Amino acid sequence: MTHATHAIRHTVLSVRDLLVTAGPFVVLALVLLVVAYWLLDPTPPRRLVMATGTERGAYAEFGTRYARILARQGIQVELRHSQGSVENLALLRDPHSGVDVAFVQGGVETPSDGNDAINEGLMSLGSLFHEPVWLFYREDSARRLLKTPTLTRLSQLTGWRINGDTEGSGVRAMVNQLLEANAVDPRGLTLLKQPTTPAVVSFLEGEIDAIVFVSAPESLMVQMLLRTPGVKLFDFAQAEAYSRRFPALSPVTLPRGIVDLASDQPPQDVRLVAPTAMMLARESTHPALVQLLVHAAAQIHGGAGWFRHKGDFPNTRNTSLPIAAEATRFYRDGVPWLQRYLPFWLANLVDRMWVVLISIIAVLIPLSRIVPPLYQFRVRSRVFRWYGQLRALEESVGKRPADELHRALDEIERKVGQVRVPLSYADELYSLRSHIAMVRGRLGTG
């Protein structure tokens, strides 16, 4: 039992000496880690505000999907409904709005006056999907105004009642551009500004002749109108020409039967023009959130759809704003390797901290080389500091009374008996005791 107690005591002593010696380096490493963690801020906020669009629009539907995916990683997404792209962009530009990311229609972000400074502090997370210009019109309105059931050119819209959505959406500017390109005098038609749902109700009741959306096909209103009898979709026969005139537009085709194969809807291919929807964010948005958002974008928009093949979206094309660094990295390399095997929070922490960890290790390794000598010095100093007193006592032989020297030597021996050193240094302690005995012998003969 006594032997075991001594072994434990020596082990504890060795560990204590090691901790005291290496303690400053451990503290230094911890301080460097804390400073790096504070500067890099690897942990993303747990809340994100996303501006979408009207409640029944495609942006709102996609926003719900993003919120569901990010919730799996513990991120709460607050969806803020708006009138559309123009309002979303204004919310992003307003530092007090609280909006972090938003869906924006391509072309809306380009200032009409060329003042690019207005978009400072914003970045793009990529293009997500095509948003066709859907011009739905009533067949009976076409018969009444054109004496034919089919609208073939936008220049035929003179005299029509058309709803071009509210001022906060990107539709208004798009409609005005298209009418101007077709030499349609806005004074020759009635251009309404009703919100989407009331406008659709008025359209179905015959109070409006045509209604324009700029939306992905996931919009509930688009889905419903594509199946409504007596409602026709305008075929942009000049789609290629529109795309050459307006860089934000791309020619796309609604394939025959894509809406309903059983009833062959639509009965033929329909040519459309489409801007590209983007996700924009503030430059201050945490990189980890950007990573989560583009990863979610690949899951939501990466598959095949009405106007895309699998893998077409998301991408970095069709945006005038700088692409976020994390988004560029994702589009280039895919999902980070660590995230394929580790929980997101841990993979993100390692991914953002590994360079710093390597740097800290590179600094500490050279410094750590002095730990063994310091440890050795600390242990041996317990023994060697008595040699000075022993030597001084030996040199006092014949100069001081013998009994006084004996008392001083007894005191040294008593204190040396209390010295504890690791077993690997016990030989030096026993050497000191033998030297004490040698001095005692000299005192006896002196």
The whole-number pLDDT of residue 104 equals 93
Kindly report the CATH number assigned to the domain that includes residue 115. 3.40.190.10
Q: DSSP letter for 187, please.
A: G
The whole-number pLDDT of residue 373 equals 72
Flag whether 36 is in a domain. Answer: no
Helix or strand or coil: residue 278?
strand
Are 190 and 210 found together in one domain? Answer: yes
Flag whether 19 is in a domain. Answer: no
Give dist(CA 412, CA 242) in Å, integer: 102
Are 252 and 285 found together in one domain? Answer: no
The whole-number pLDDT of residue 1 equals 46
The whole-number pLDDT of residue 397 equals 77
Are 252 and 384 found together in one domain? Answer: no
Are 291 and 386 found together in one domain? Answer: no
Helix or strand or coil: residue 38?
helix
- HSE at residue 363, side-chain half, CA atoms within 13 A, is 12
- HSE at residue 327, side-chain half, CA atoms within 13 A, is 28
The whole-number pLDDT of residue 34 equals 66
The whole-number pLDDT of residue 163 equals 93
Are 164 and 246 found together in one domain? Answer: yes
Average pLDDT by consecutive 10-residue portion of the chain (446 residues)? 51 55 66 63 81 87 95 93 90 93 88 70 94 95 94 93 77 84 88 88 95 89 93 96 91 94 93 94 90 93 92 89 91 78 70 66 67 69 77 79 81 79 73 82 68
Give dist(CA 248, CA 105) in Å, integer: 9
Interval 313-363: pLDDT, tens: 999 988 889 999 989 988 988 877 667 777 776 666 666 666 666 766 666
The whole-number pLDDT of residue 256 equals 95
Residue ranges of alpha helices (H) inside 234-370 are 239-245, 287-301, 325-333, 344-368
| pTM reported for the whole predicted model | 0.69
Cβ neighbour number for residue 324 with a 10 Å cutoff: 24
Last residue of one domain, picked from the residues 274, 291, 312: 274
Containing domain of residue 428, as a range? Answer: 371-445
The whole-number pLDDT of residue 401 equals 82
Helix or strand or coil: residue 326?
helix
Q: Answer yes or no: are the C-beta atoms of 272 and 132 closer than 8 Å.
A: yes
The whole-number pLDDT of residue 44 equals 76
Query: How many degrees, rounded to 5, is the angle at CA 196 between CA 190 and CA 198?
Result: 80
Flag whether 344 is in a domain. Answer: no
The whole-number pLDDT of residue 167 equals 64
Give dist(CA 156, CA 179) in Å, integer: 10
Number of domains in the chain: 3
The whole-number pLDDT of residue 168 equals 60
Task: Print burial letters for 260-270: b (CB count within 10 Å at least 16), e (below 16).
Answer: eeeeeebeeeb
